[in-house]
Amino acid sequence: MNGTSEPSVKAVTAAPPIEIYHPVFGAFSKRSKDSDLNIPDKFLCQTASLLQSVSAISVEEDSRVWESSNILSEMLSLSFQHIFNEDWTSAGLISAQHTPLNVNAAPIMIAVESELGAGGSDPSVQSSFSYARFYCSRERAAIREISCCPAFLGHGC
């Protein structure tokens, strides 16, 4: 159940290969096994900054969101928006992607809390709850009708 389409993998999978959703998943899987992969020093330093940012104790979600999103934006060359659900609860960070349907999609969504477990649920599923609330909103019905809404989900605290 590893979700890959590697011909050398003999495991029976219950899910389609993850690469069918976006080629970046297959590229990541392949590159993660490359022992000769050269990671730029700048990226390693940014990663260290991000880890330091999310490992500091924080009682306010806003300061952590601002710092983490700035570091991620620089690392990934993307902009992130802090979004809110219809009931004004935080849905976390998204990298908004305009669609021809005149409504934004979210190919990257990151749930952010002031501290691990502060959201009242298991942190491993918090980002999937945010994802579900985002895509189940009325304004994204047209996207749901034509797409499986693939996204990278993350969780930072």
Give residue-wise pLDDT tens across range 102-139: 888 888 888 776 555 555 666 567 788 888 888 888 88
pLDDT at 64: 66
Token pair, residue 107, equals: 């190919």
| 5 occurs within a structural domain | no
The domain of 49 spans 41-156
pLDDT at 129: 82
| 110 occurs within a structural domain | yes
Give the whole-angstrom CA distance, residue 123 versus residue 102.
Answer: 32
Give the whole-angstrom CA distance, residue 96 versus residue 98.
Answer: 7
Q: What is the pTM of this model?
A: 0.63
| 13 occurs within a structural domain | no
Give the whole-angstrom CA distance, residue 126 versus residue 85.
Answer: 14
| 58 occurs within a structural domain | yes
Cα distances (angstroms) measured from residue 28 to each of 21, 47, 89, 135 = 13, 17, 32, 25
Percent of the chain with pLDDT over 70: 71
Token pair, residue 155, equals: 């969780």
Q: Are 84 and 130 in contact (CB under 8 A)?
A: no
pLDDT-derived band at 2, boundaries 50, 70, 90 = very low
pLDDT-derived band at 1, boundaries 50, 70, 90 = very low
| 17 occurs within a structural domain | no
The C-alpha angle 39, 41, 44, rounded to 5 degrees, equals 75
List, in sequence order, every residue forming a beta bridge with 152; answer none if it has no partner.
108
Give residue-wise pLDDT tens across range 26-73: 888 888 889 999 999 999 999 999 888 877 766 665 666 778 788 888
| 6 occurs within a structural domain | no
Cα distances (angstroms) measured from residue 2 to each of 14, 18, 143 = 9, 9, 27
| 141 occurs within a structural domain | yes
| 140 occurs within a structural domain | yes
Structural domains in the chain (count): 1
Cα distances (angstroms) measured from residue 152 to each of 18, 125, 127, 149 = 12, 13, 10, 10
**Segment 7-29 mean pLDDT:** 70
